[in-house]
Structure 1
């Protein structure tokens, strides 16, 4: 480092040993992030385990770490639901009317056989009619068993019930049957068929109930003779059977369905599982064991896994910051501390909401201001970093707000966080007014509501209208809460960390600021000069991707120190003699140089951010005051004495520009002053002057401490030329070949300067 660099008092080696750029401090901050992630996620992933033995007394109160299922209560509820299921009966249509027609046909044929005596006929009917009724049922069961129409158990139940309800025909009926003529039987058939068919259409559990109705139907029938009526009545009773039977399998299936449809009984998060001093019964022990709350065996793998997970999240953030930084010190430790604080605030806000959230009301989680961290990173640091942090916040929210048992991540909350964070970043990344933050909150509310509605549709589950409305309402409120928190936290971060956000810069550019009012009223020439420098520096900064707004606002304050001695600066010497004409060159040098130092002190007094102070302190760097140096040499020569000074005594104390913005303001400051000093500047003069100023500063090593490249300096030169041409258009003369074609109006412009 040469003598000039010694005079600045700052260099890269100074940065390396300072706290802000300490490698050890940086890794401590990242380590703190690991601890934050582990401590926040542990309650969700690693519930506390207890060393408890069966039959012992609990030494502490044990509460449910999360909402957990109560197996015993759920089992009791399931059994109660199964007990409330009524027995299911299935109907089996047997078509008994076919049987009674077959019996009457048999009677008709046998009665017409004269070879069989009446006594034999009575004997045949006594055996055959009951047997026919029994065979009819057996054939029906056999046929349906082969076809698989009904279950075997149901058919067995049918045989059992019918056999228990067999009807015995009175003996006198068998004696009367042989007396029936063929005409009697033909008259009896439709009546018998109609009666049996009509009664069989009813649901018959007990055959006796249906048989009791036969006498009434027979008495109202078309039969008039007593014997046919009596015989039809008895034959109808013997053929009628039950057709509705207890279905054991269907009943069991209904009981299984009732058990399955019974909602799980949960123990809410925070509910007391075991009171202090309570005896650990087998039931309590089983409950704790089922929910993995017992230290039955030493298992550190989950803890190791969570620690590695936290390390991976932090490593990803570290690598992104390292790779995205355009220079080694883009993010100093002060900014990293601010980033850690943003993570703490965002994660804590999620955790607080998760406390009042449970599996019955999972939608409460959408109330968390999950976009808060992404917005703060955007406003206070960088939008590209904010996008990466938004992905981390999405992962964290999917764990912290998850209430689903058996899974670590909840896709719904992760996707919701990602969408609203990306929307918020897109809206506020160029915010220059506080109202933009409210706009960002409203956009978060709208897109958050749309996102949760889409997730409900994708889920396909049957959400009630109330649940849907609550979910959308909480998502909408999340955006409003986010904007309120951001507006409230921004001043804290700006003051605590000296952050110059776009919002703060716009506030500082207000002409009503006390320092700007002082500059305008006491040094109007300097005020006008500062405004011009602001216009030039902003255009140049934006051309190379630097902070144009910072350059503009920094330019407004860069010469505030001149208000202490306004008459010693040429832009304020209207219609008065220059006091430097009668001053010693060394005194003049001290007064000129002091304005940078005085400006920094005034800015400190009014608590302006450090970046503004840096521009005021660094915009001259360690440049050389040629005029006063040569004036001092001439005076010494006239006095015939050896100079008791060197060129180092006529340099600004610096430091040199430490940022692109400070360097750009310094260049624009010199360009504006130089153009203003020209009476009739031409385009060639302006272009040559700008290049000369930049080359002079570069040869003087004024850009050694900032990261301006040669390409960027070339862009700055071209941009300043275009801006000067626009601002001082009426004063700049055209080249000779153009002047030949101009009218007298150009000459009038020249004379009017």
Structure 2
């Protein structure tokens, strides 16, 4: 049957063309993948946390204690400041103007009447003055008038006047005496009496008090202090009694008798008023609460907040500057705030982009592609910003401490290049976020860069202290140099001249001002490294890294796994020790981590302790366990030591880099002996299937680091060198070349970044180490060959 073909139009032919997607399309497609979205989310969350921590939408407060402004600082907006001193003064005045409460108990005053009357009765008989009894004389003495101009009236005259007044119709019990004296005593009872005030001028008014009956503070009356104080009452008392007696007695004898009674009362005035501290304090507190707070108003562009050339003090200028800053922030429009937020976010985005491009294309892209590494990197940056935010304000001003800690942690965890890049960016973010000047940025950068460059390998506990000392000196000198370049030194000298009474420089003020800040920054740098010494074990656990200190502890021969390996598989243990020795030297020759390689070599074959007799180095002469096994089964037994070793390392909580050595030291290499044996048997039996090479390879992964590649090659050449009958230098050289070429051609070094130049240096180091191990010895006569 004939088949017809329809002719396509031009539009269909154009539509059928498949063009290469654009770069933007590829990036967008890659961004929409799950892992990329996770990484972007982590970066976005970190950026938001930094913005919130540093308040990126607000201008920072840029003044600090001790800072010397180059020009006068005036108010930008109108604001008022609470005047604590004036408010306290107003409250003090209010307290002074309040009446203090005194409680009146008048009973002792009324008992005076009976006491006077009883003494007068004793003297009213007709006994002559010379014959008076002692009791009568005592009564007469008690009634003696007060001296007038230093002259005391005669007792005989007083006695005669007393008997004359109360003789005849004016008897003592006719009620006139009680009425005349009672009028005065009632007045005293109503107002009360006191010796002196029990409160001072700071506690209340001194001219008047509030007197109230017992238990009735609401019924108090205001009383002039002169009316209740003994000294004042005693002065006015004689005249009042004379007037009172003359009201009831018309004879002249009433005046001396009144003076006699007034003398007794003046000498025996009781205290009936008691100061109530509790009630008076309540009144004072209520009065204080009614006082309104006092404020000082400041006018924009007029009011001076800090003077040029004078250091800002915490007691005076700094509170004013804070108040002005808060008022200025409160008046910012939402547009200004949004613009500031966009600018700060743009800066973070630029830093993200530049750092990300460098790390991705020039350093190690796994820091960005692996979510765990990215979270650790950005998490450390966020924590550093948070710590700087709370350590920066006065009086501590210790933002350099978190930055130094961050620099050391990043150097240990991610390497020097990333540490230098990230800490410099963090210094910039902190400088802009906290309002520091260019001098502060340079000082912070000098501290972090010095810590990164001086750190190196941490093989002793004192290494961090030495790093802190060196970095502290650099920070102090840098701070002094930057102050000189920026002209702050000249400002400090002018301020020192201003503070001096004459026109000479006050060096006693200037030297602490200049050197104190430098020493403080240097001391904080040393403090950061000292803190890092204690934090180092926790940092290693948190970030999964090992310093030389932890590696030295891990490589101790008394480690439980190494002791078990020496007991169960002594041949493997001896092999591991030899591999560690040659691998460390080889790693050092190419700039890799030699100590890490040595410790990894100690543990790389710990999986062999489960079945030690299946490995040639542990077999005794006379038998081979593999003779009774099929090649495929023997291969499974040999390959299993990798998985068994990794499981055993995880069980004993070995660090991840050590477990990586266990898993990668064979890569995906071929178990050649048993593969060839299986191929030979397959060729001899035509009914068998062809042997697959994949079944005789280790599961991998291939070496991911230079150290793992060094261990792989060292392990292979050390094992193979044992088969040499006469291990001369040339034979060892030939053996190492063959094994290295085989690994290279097999693609085992494809994922570790090992270059051919490094491989050449690696081979040279291995040849030297093996030649030293198998060096020739002098053969003595009669000595058997070794």
Q: Which residue number corresponds to residue 615 of structure 1?
A: 661
Measured in 2, the distance between the counterparts of 1:705 and 1:470 equals: 53
Q: Which residue number corresponds to residue 407 of structure 2?
A: 374
Check the 8 A contact 2:56/2:340 in 1, yes or no: no
Shift of 1:674: 0.6
Q: Which residue number corresponds to residue 137 of structure 2?
A: none
Q: Deviations over 1:557-609 (max 9, x none)?
A: 11011111222222223556333334443433222111111101101111112
Shift of 1:421: 1.4
- 2:618 counterpart (572, 593, 601): 572
1:306 paired with 2:333, answer no
Q: Which residue number corresponds to residue 459 of structure 1?
A: 488
Q: Which residue number corresponds to residue 422 of structure 1?
A: 449
Check the 8 A contact 2:46/2:379 in 1, yes or no: no
- C-alpha RMSD of matched pairs (Å): 4.2
1:40 paired with 2:53, answer yes
Flag structure 1 segments of 5+ consecutive residues without an equivalent: 1-15, 49-66, 78-255, 274-286, 402-407, 732-744
- 2:360 counterpart (289, 305, 322): 322
3-state DSSP of counterpart to 1:680 = coil
For residues 752 and 324 of structure 1, do their structure 2 counterparts lie closer, same or farther at Cα, with a shift above 3 Å needed?
A: farther
Shift of 1:269: 9.1
Check the 8 A contact 1:19/1:333 in 2, yes or no: no
Is the deviation greater in 462-471 or in 511-520?
A: 462-471
Shift of 1:672: 0.3
Q: Which residue number corresponds to residue 514 of structure 1?
A: 560
For residues 17 and 509 of structure 1, do their structure 2 counterparts lie closer, same or farther at Cα, with a shift above 3 Å needed?
A: farther
Q: Which residue number corresponds to residue 436 of structure 1?
A: 463
Flag structure 2 segments of 5+ consecutive residues without an equivalent: 1-28, 62-74, 86-303, 497-508
1:351-500 mapped onto 2 (5 Å cutoff)? 351-355=389-393, 357=394, 364-365=397-398, 368-401=401-434, 408-455=435-482, 459-460=488-489, 461=492, 462=496, 464=510, 466-468=512-514, 470-500=516-546
3-state DSSP of counterpart to 1:546 = coil
Q: Which residue number corresponds to residue 196 of structure 1?
A: none
- 1:691 counterpart (731, 737, 740): 737
Q: Which residue number corresponds to residue 185 of structure 1?
A: none
Q: Deviations over 1:688-731 (max 9, x none)?
A: 21121122223333334443333433332233222222333237
Measured in 2, the distance between the counterparts of 1:292 and 1:330 equals: 38
Check the 8 A contact 2:359/2:367 in 1, yes or no: no
Check the 8 A contact 1:68/1:269 in 2, yes or no: no
Q: Which residue number corresponds to residue 23 of structure 1?
A: 36
For residues 30 and 752 of structure 1, do their structure 2 counterparts lie closer, same or farther at Cα, with a shift above 3 Å needed?
A: farther
1:71-110 mapped onto 2 (5 Å cutoff)? none
Check the 8 A contact 2:605/2:641 in 1, yes or no: yes
Measured in 2, the distance between the counterparts of 1:543 and 1:21 equals: 41
For residues 533 and 23 of structure 1, do their structure 2 counterparts lie closer, same or farther at Cα, with a shift above 3 Å needed?
A: farther
3-state DSSP of counterpart to 2:591 = coil
Shift of 1:331: 7.1
Shift of 1:479: 2.3
For residues 270 and 598 of structure 1, do their structure 2 counterparts lie closer, same or farther at Cα, with a shift above 3 Å needed?
A: farther
Q: Which residue number corresponds to residue 319 of structure 2?
A: 268
Shift of 1:751: 5.7
Measured in 1, the distance between the counterparts of 2:51 and 2:753 equals: 38
Is the deviation greater in 326-335 or in 517-526?
A: 326-335
Measured in 2, the distance between the counterparts of 1:366 and 1:314 equals: 22
Check the 8 A contact 1:41/1:399 in 2, yes or no: no
For residues 487 and 635 of structure 1, do their structure 2 counterparts lie closer, same or farther at Cα, with a shift above 3 Å needed?
A: same
1:294 paired with 2:331, answer yes
Shift of 1:435: 2.9
Measured in 2, the distance between the counterparts of 1:688 and 1:259 equals: 82
Q: Which residue number corresponds to residue 206 of structure 1?
A: none
Check the 8 A contact 1:536/1:723 in 2, yes or no: yes
Q: Deviations over 1:31-52 (max 9, x none)?
A: 344324422332684379xxxx
1:116-265 mapped onto 2 (5 Å cutoff)? none
Check the 8 A contact 1:34/1:314 in 2, yes or no: no
Check the 8 A contact 2:682/2:688 in 1, yes or no: yes
TM-score by length of 2: 0.57
3-state DSSP of counterpart to 1:370 = helix
- 2:724 counterpart (678, 681, 688): 678
Q: Deviations over 1:501-556 (max 9, x none)?
A: 44433332222222122223332321221122223323333333333333222111
3-state DSSP of counterpart to 2:38 = helix
Shift of 1:748: 8.2
Measured in 1, the distance between the counterparts of 2:32 and 2:598 equals: 29
3-state DSSP of counterpart to 2:557 = coil
> How many residues get paired?
505
For residues 646 and 318 of structure 1, do their structure 2 counterparts lie closer, same or farther at Cα, with a shift above 3 Å needed?
A: closer
1:338 paired with 2:376, answer yes
3-state DSSP of counterpart to 1:322 = helix
Check the 8 A contact 1:508/1:553 in 2, yes or no: yes
3-state DSSP of counterpart to 1:396 = helix
Check the 8 A contact 1:68/1:267 in 2, yes or no: no
- 2:673 counterpart (599, 621, 627): 627
For residues 525 and 330 of structure 1, do their structure 2 counterparts lie closer, same or farther at Cα, with a shift above 3 Å needed?
A: farther
Is the deviation greater in 565-574 or in 666-675?
A: 565-574
3-state DSSP of counterpart to 2:352 = helix
Check the 8 A contact 2:46/2:378 in 1, yes or no: yes
Measured in 2, the distance between the counterparts of 1:317 and 1:542 equals: 30
Check the 8 A contact 2:56/2:344 in 1, yes or no: no
Measured in 2, the distance between the counterparts of 1:20 and 1:518 equals: 47
Check the 8 A contact 1:42/1:306 in 2, yes or no: no
- 1:534 counterpart (580, 600, 603): 580
Q: Which residue number corresponds to residue 167 of structure 1?
A: none
Shift of 1:288: 8.1
Q: Deviations over 1:356-379 (max 9, x none)?
A: x1xxx5x73466443111111111
Measured in 2, the distance between the counterparts of 1:296 and 1:599 equals: 65
3-state DSSP of counterpart to 2:675 = helix
Shift of 1:747: 8.2
Q: Which residue number corresponds to residue 500 of structure 2?
A: none
